[in-house]
Amino acid sequence: MEPQEEKPIIYTMENKPIVTCAGDQGLFTHLYTPLAQQLPREPMEWRRTYGRAPKMIHLEANFVQFKEELLPKEGNKALLTFPFLHIYWTDCCDTETYKGSVKEDMTRWQNSLRLHGSVDWVIVVVETNDAKKKNKTNILPRSSIVDKIRNDFCNKQNDRCVVLSDPLKDSSRSQESWSSFLLKLRTLLLMSFTKNLGRFEDDMRTLREKRTQPGWSFCDYFMVQEELAFVFEMLQQFEDALVQYDELDALFTQYVLNFGAGDGANWLGSFCAPVRNWSGLLLRRPIDMEKRDGIQRGEASLLDLRSYLFSRQCTLLIFLQRPWEVTQRALELLHNCIQELRLLEVSVLEGALDCWVFLSCLEVLHRIEGCCDQAQLAANCSHTVGLWAYATDKLKSLGELCGLVSEKGPTSEDLNRTVDLLAGLGDERPETTLSLQSPYKKLKKALSSTEAFERHYLELSHAAMEMYKAISRLRSARLVGKSLAEFYMRKGDPERAEGFLQDALRSYVSEGWSLPVTHTRKQIAECQKLLGRTEDYLQTSALLAGDENLTSEERKHFCQEILTFASKSTDNSPKVALSMTAFAQLTRLQFRPATASVHSGAALEVELSLRCLMPVAVRVQQLAASIHFSLEQGGTHGRSKGTQRQTNPGTVHFPQGRSAVCLLSASSSAAAAGPSLELDEIQDCSPSDNSLNSTGMVCKNTHLVMRRHDSSSSLDTPNCLSPPALSMDDGGQMLKVQDVTLEPGSNSVVFTAPSGDPGTYTLRQLCATVGQVQFVQPHIYPVVQYEVYSQEPQLTVEPLSEPLLAGLPQRVKFTLLTGHYRLKKGDALQLSNTDTMPILPSATCTASILNPAAERVGESPLSIQSSEKVTSISLPSTPPYHTLEFQLEVLCLIPPGPDRPANERLTNGEVRHRPRSYSHPDTPMIAIDQRMSIDCPWSIYSTLLALTFYIPFKTKHSLLSTGNRKYIQVCVQNVSDVNFQLAELKLSEKQHASLELQSLNTKVQQLVCSKQSVFCLWEVRWKTDLPSCLQCIFSANFSPPDQDVSAFKPFHYQFQLERVTTLYSVRAEILPATGEQHCRSGALCGLEVFVTRLTAPMDGELVEEGRTEADGLRTTKLMYEVADSSSNWAVCGKSSGVVSMPMSASATHRVQIEVMPLFAGHLPFPKIKVFKYLPHTAAPAIQPDPDSCVENDTLSLLDKTLDEVQGDTASIRSRGSVHSLGSGEQQPQRGLPMPRLEPFSPGQVFNHSHARQVLVLPATDDHIMEVNTT
C-alpha cells in the first residue's frame, strides 16, 4: 500500500517541486511553517537557455522526509516525482555528539545521494541560544562546528553549508539570517530546476528527432512532453505549458495530413480503430486520467486523444483568463476532427459524430458559462454563437436521421438507430449527474420524442438567431432561419416557413448570390402553392421561369404554371399584376425620327426592344405603355423657344444585368431608394424683349418621390408577398400594339406615338397582358420623353462672313423658320429702306426650302421690288415647320462727318435714329449698328433686326505750319484685316472758292495693307487773306486689291480747322558770356527771346482779347515760359512772365533771360511756350456747343488718341508762380475772380528756334600730367 500512497496524484495547481529533508526531523517540523510561508514571497529571475526571455517566478516546494526510494532511478524521466533539492537539518553544537552520530548520519545521507547521482543538496546548521545554555562546558563555538562540517563534507562547495541563527526569534539577527537562508534556498532550487529541465528538454528533443525511426511511438513521446508541460504548470508558467500542448497538437495534425497524402506512420494504426464511444469532451476535470491512461497504454482512439488534448488546453487557457479563445479553438477542433476521421478512414456509426459534436459544443459552452458572468457572456456572444449554431445544425441532422422531423414520426428503424446512438454515449459522468441541464441529459431528452426534439431544436435555433442579430451578422441569422424553414416544411407548416425563407431570399438577392437565390425561391414557391397564394406563387413562378440556373424542364414547368392560370377565362375576377422584371427586360428604345421632337401632327414611331426571359414563346394580347402628358405653354410660363428647346435623346439604352439575380438586385436597390427624380428646367423671360429674368428646376414626379415608402410596396420588388394590382387606364394616352408573340431572347415592337397636342410626353409604365395576367413595369428609367412642339415663325438675319465691313457690299443670310404658319402665295416681307444701309438690287435671287430634317426639298426665285421707303420681298409657298433661306446684298455707308440728317420715320411710324458708331472691345475698328424694320405677314407687329458693321478705316487730320505757309495732313489707317486700294485722293474746302489746296501726293493709287497707314499732304494757298475757319472734305475711292474700277466705293471724311492764321512768331538767340566766342558748360549765357506780331488783329480777336491802353493803343497780354524738360539747361532767375503785346503788325517784344548750359556739345535750345493771359473779366474763347458735343462723340473724339488729349491738357498745366493761377488746385475757389491761361490753336504761333542747336564747349580746366620715360 505504501507505493500507492507515494504515487503523486496529478491535479493542476496542487503539485509542487519536491524537496527532501534529512537529519533532525523534529527541528524541521518546528521550522516547516515559516519556511513554507516565506519561500514563495520573493520572486526570482529565471534565466533559461536557448535565448529564451527571462521570467520572474515564485518558487514553492513540497518538503517531504528523505527516503532513498524517492531518489530517481536510472531511466526514470518523470519530473513530477523528481526531488530537485535535498536538505540536511541539524542543530548540533556539541563536538561529541557531532562525532558520535551526526557525522555518521551525514555520511550515509551523502553516500545515498552520490549513489543516485544527486548533486543538489545543502546542509543547514541551526543555532539556538537555548542549546548553548544547557551544556556550556562541552559547547564549542559555532564556527568550529560549521568549519568541521565544511571540512568533512563541503571541501569545494562551502556555500552548501548554511547557518540559520535563532530562526524562531523576532530579532534583526534572526531576520537577516532567514533572508540569507531563503535566498540561498531559492537560488539552489532554481539552479536545480534549470539544470534538470534543460537535461529533460534535451532528452525530449532527442526523442522527437527519432520520430522517423521504426518503433517510434507518438503516445510515448506525448507522455514525455506532457511531463514538461506539467512542470511548467507546477511553476505556474501556464503559457509555456500551453506551448507544449500546442506543439503536440501540431505534430499529430501533421502526421494525419501526411497519412492522407499517402505517407502514413505505423503508430497511426492504433488511432484508426472504429469509434465505440462518442461521449464528447470532458472539460470539468483538470486532467481526465482515464483518457490519459488510455493514451499511455496506446489504446486511445482519435476522439480520445483529441478530447484529452483539448481539455488540457482549455484548462490552461482558463488559467490564463482567455476563455474566448477556448470557443475559437473548440470550433476548429470539431471541424478538424471530422476531417481527420475521414482522412484516417475511421469507421464511425452514422450519427455518432453528430452526437459527439453536439455534446462537445454544449460542454464548451457550459465550461465558459461557469467561469464568466452573464454580462461578459452577453458582451462576447460573437465568440460563442458559432458553437450554438453548430450544435443546432448537428441536432437537426440527428432529428432527420432519427425520424423526429417528419410529419409521421420515427419508424422502427429510426428507433433502433436512436438506441444505438444513445448506447455509444455510455453512462453519464459523475461531474454532471446532479446538473439538470447537462449536455448528456439534453441529448437524451431531445432524442426521446418528437415534441422534446422540436422544443430543444427551436430553443437552440432562436438562441443562435438572436445572438447573430445582436452582433449584426444578419446573413448568418438568416441562414439559421432558412434551416428553421426547412424544418417547418418537413413538419408540414409552410406558413411559418415562408417568413424565414423570404428573409433569406432578401439577403441573397441584395448580396448577389445567384444559386442560393434560385434554391430559396423554389422553396418559397412550394410554400406559396401549399398556402394557396395564387398571385405570390405566379410571381415567384415567373422569376423561376426566367432563371438560367434551372434546367430547361424546370423553367418550362414554372412557365406553364403561369400560362395555365392566364388561360382561365373569368370575366368577373380582376387581372393579376406581376412584375415585368421577371417576364421581359427592356433593353432599348428608339425614336423615329431620332430627334425625339416633332411638330404638332407629325408622325412619330417608337421602336421598343425587349428581351423575353421566358423559356417558350408567349403570345401577348396587348403590349401598352402609358404616357404622362405635360402641357407646354411657350412664353406664358417663360418656356424657351426654338433652338433653346430641350433636346431629348433619340435612342435610350437601359442598364442590363448579367443574370437574373443581378437584375433583381438592381431593381430592389432602386425600389429601396425610391423612384428617380424627373427634373425640368424653367426659364422666366421678359415679355417685352424676351430677355432671361430667372431660371430654376422643377420636379415633375413629386407625387412619387414624396410618398411614403414604408406603407407601400412596389412592383419593382418582385419578392414582396402581395404585389399590388395595377390597372392601365384605357382612356388615357397610351402606346398600344395588339397580338404580339414574344420569342425567347430579343424582340422588337414598333408603336405609333400620339403627337396631337403640343407638350412633353413621358413614358411612365409598360404593361404586357397575357390572358388574366398583366406584367407591369411601373417606372421606366432612364426617363424617356419626346416633345411635340408648336413653334411661332422666326426670322433671323446673319452675315455670311465676319466681320461686316462698312462701305463695301456685304451678303447677309435671311433664315425664316415657318413654324406652325404656312406661307401662301402673295405673302411678302416689307423691309424699311434707310439711307445709311440700302439693299442692293440683284438680278437673280433664289430661296431654298428645307424640311425639318434640314434636307433641301426645293428652290424658288424671289421677286424683290424696291420703292423709296420700302423693299418688298415676295416669298414662295412653304409648308409649316420648314425653313426658308435666301441671301441679299446690303451696303452700309460710312458716316462722312458730323452733319446731322433730318429725322426719318419707319414704316411703323417710329422715328428712325441715326446709327451711332462706337468702339468695340474685341477689335480696333469702329462698329455701327444698323437696324432694319421688317413687316411679316404672320404678325401685326414689326420685327426689328440688327446688323453690326465695322468701319475699316480710322482717319485723322492735322494742320502743319512753316511761317505763314499752311499744310493739311490727312492720315488714313487701315484697321481691318483686309488690304485695300485707295484711288482719287482729294481734299476740298466748302466755303471759300478762292482758297486753293495744292496736292503734294505723287501717287494716283495707294495700297493700304492691313494695320498700316497712308499719309496725304496738301498745301493751302490763298490770294487775299487766309480764312480763320476751314470746312474740309476728304474723299477717296477704295476697294479690295485686283478689283475693277466699278468696284471702287467712295469714302468721305469731313473735318473743320479753326484759327489757322499765324499770329505770332518766336525767335530766340543764345549769346555767350562777354569775352567768349562760344558758350561753355557751367557759365552763364544770355537767352534773348523775340515775340513778333505778324498780322493785324481781326474783328473777333479785338472783341475777345483787345485792351485799350492810356495812349489809345490796343494791346493784349501774353505769358511766356522757358522750360527745359531734357535737363540740358538751368534757367537762372524768372523762367516765365507776362508781357503786354501791341495788337499791330510787326510789333515785337524782347525778353532777356540768363541760362546756364549743364553739358558740353550741340545742345538744343530750351523750349519756349507762349500762352494767352486772359483777365478774370474775359469770357472763354470757345463756348461749348451742345450739338457739336453730340456729333463729335461719334468720330472726332474717337479719332483723337489718348496721347493727343493728354498733350493738349499738358500744355495748360502750370510750371511757375504766375501760371499756377489757372491750375486745378485753385479750382475750388470759385467765388474769387481769377485770371486764366489759354493755349493758342495749332499754327497760331510759329517758333523759329524749335529745332535749333548751339555749340557748348566744356569748361576750361588746367590739369598737370606727369610722364616718366625710361
Tens digits of residue pLDDT in 798-823: 998 888 888 888 889 999 998 888 88
Mean pLDDT: which of 32-41, 300-309, 917-926 is highest?
300-309
Residue 333 backbone dihedrals phi, psi, to 5 degrees: -60, -45
Residue 1236 backbone dihedrals phi, psi, to 5 degrees: -145, 165
Q: Determine the pLDDT at residue 1265.
A: 61
Q: What is the DSSP letter of 771?
A: T
Q: Mean pLDDT check: name the lowest of 520-534, 1084-1098, 1256-1270.
A: 1256-1270
Task: Give the long-range contacts of residues 1004-1011, CB within 8 A, separation 24 or more.
Answer: 1005/981, 1006/981, 1006/982, 1007/979, 1007/980, 1007/981, 1007/982, 1007/1041, 1008/972, 1008/974, 1008/979, 1008/980, 1008/981, 1008/982, 1008/1038, 1009/974, 1009/979, 1010/974, 1010/976, 1010/977, 1010/978, 1010/979, 1011/974, 1011/975
Cβ atoms of residues 1106 and 1097 within 8 Å: yes
- Evaluate if residue 640 carries a pLDDT over 50: no
- The model's pLDDT over 377-410, given as tens digits with 9 standing for 90+, comes to 888 888 999 999 999 999 999 999 998 888 788 8
Taking residues 544-565, report their average pLDDT.
Answer: 92
- pLDDT range class, residue 990, cuts 50, 70, 90: confident
Q: Mean pLDDT check: name the lowest of 651-660, 847-856, 1242-1251.
A: 651-660
- Evaluate if residue 645 carries a pLDDT over 60: no
DSSP H stretches of helix in 645-776: 660-673, 702-705
Q: Mean pLDDT check: name the lowest of 72-86, 752-766, 1074-1088.
A: 72-86
Nine-digit cell string for 1129: 539747361
**Cα torsion angle, 246, 248, 251, 254, sign:** negative
Q: How would you label 457-484 residue by residue, b for 16+ Cβ within 10 Å and e otherwise?
A: beebbebbbebbeeeeebebbbbbbbbb
Tell me the sheet residues that pair with 828: 874
Tell me the sheet residues that pair with 161: 123
- pLDDT range class, residue 1177, cuts 50, 70, 90: low
Residue whose cell numbers read 499732304: 1017
Q: What is the dihedral of CA 899, 903, 904, 910, to 10 degrees?
A: 140
Task: Give the long-range contacts of residues 281-284, CB within 8 A, separation 24 or more.
Answer: 281/307, 281/310, 281/311, 281/330, 281/359, 281/360, 281/363, 281/364, 282/307, 282/311, 282/363, 282/429, 282/431, 283/311, 283/314, 283/315, 283/363, 283/364, 283/366, 283/367, 284/367, 284/429, 284/431, 284/432
Kind and range of the H or E run holding 692: strand 692-699
- Evaluate if residue 824 carries a pLDDT over 80: yes
Q: Determine the pLDDT at residue 997.
A: 87
Tell me how far CA of residue 320 lies from CA of 13, 361, 1140, in angstroms. 13, 21, 124
- Evaluate if residue 618 carries a pLDDT over 80: yes
1149 vs 1152: CA distance, rounded Å:
10
Kind and range of the H or E run holding 445: helix 439-446
- Evaluate if residue 1256 carries a pLDDT over 80: yes
User: In 10 A of CB 525, how many CB atoms?
Assistant: 21
- Closest alpha carbon to 273 in 345, 191, 349: 345
- What is the distance, to the nearest Å, from the Cα of residue 707 to the centroid of all Cα atoms in its chain? 31
Q: Determine the pLDDT at residue 668.
A: 44
**Cα torsion angle, 661, 662, 665, 670, sign:** negative
Cβ atoms of residues 1140 and 1115 within 8 Å: yes
Amino acid present at 81: T
399 vs 540: CA distance, rounded Å:
30
- The model's pLDDT over 335-345, given as tens digits with 9 standing for 90+, comes to 999 999 999 88
Helix (H, G, I), strand (E, B) or coil at 723: coil
Helix (H, G, I), strand (E, B) or coil at 4: helix
| Pairing mode, strands 996-999 and 1013-1021 | antiparallel
Better pLDDT: 1212 or 881: 881
- Evaluate if residue 646 carries a pLDDT over 80: no
| Pairing mode, strands 1148-1157 and 1085-1093 | antiparallel
Q: Determine the pLDDT at residue 591.
A: 92
836 vs 847: CA distance, rounded Å:
26
- Evaluate if residue 721 carries a pLDDT over 50: no
DSSP H stretches of helix in 98-217: 103-115, 129-134, 142-153, 172-209
Residue whose cell numbers read 412642339: 789
- Evaluate if residue 329 carries a pLDDT over 90: yes
- Closest alpha carbon to 217 in 336, 290, 305: 305
- Evaluate if residue 898 carries a pLDDT over 60: no
- The model's pLDDT over 110-132, given as tens digits with 9 standing for 90+, comes to 888 888 878 888 888 888 766 55
- pLDDT range class, residue 11, cuts 50, 70, 90: very low
Amino acid present at 872: S
Cβ-Cβ contacts under 8 Å for 1184 (sequence gap 6 or more): none
Mean pLDDT: which of 309-318, 731-740, 1215-1224 is highest?
309-318
Nine-digit cell string for 846: 433664289
For the chain, give the mean pLDDT: 81
260 vs 396: CA distance, rounded Å:
30
980 vs 1048: CA distance, rounded Å:
10
Taking residues 974-999, report their average pLDDT.
Answer: 87
Cβ atoms of residues 131 and 84 within 8 Å: no
927 vs 806: CA distance, rounded Å:
9
- Evaluate if residue 869 carries a pLDDT over 80: yes
Taking residues 184-196, report their average pLDDT.
Answer: 85
Residue 984 backbone dihedrals phi, psi, to 5 degrees: 55, 60
Q: Mean pLDDT check: name the lowest of 427-441, 500-514, 711-725, 768-782.
A: 711-725
- What is the distance, to the nearest Å, from the Cα of residue 296 to the centroid of all Cα atoms in its chain? 66
Q: Mean pLDDT check: name the lowest of 240-249, 1102-1111, 1173-1182.
A: 1102-1111
Q: How big is the CA angle at 302 (ends 298 and 305), to the nearest 5 degrees?
A: 65
Cβ atoms of residues 1120 and 1172 within 8 Å: no
Residue whose cell numbers read 474723299: 1035
Nine-digit cell string for 725: 394590382
Better pLDDT: 143 or 457: 457
Better pLDDT: 633 or 759: 759
Kind and range of the H or E run holding 1237: strand 1236-1239
Mean pLDDT: which of 162-171, 243-252, 1038-1047 is highest?
243-252
Taking residues 553-578, report their average pLDDT.
Answer: 85
- Closest alpha carbon to 1093 in 1066, 1112, 1068: 1066
Q: State the burial class of residue 1110 (Cβ atoms within 10 Å of its Cβ: 0-12, 13-18, 19+).
A: exposed
Q: Determine the pLDDT at residue 298.
A: 86
Better pLDDT: 492 or 391: 391
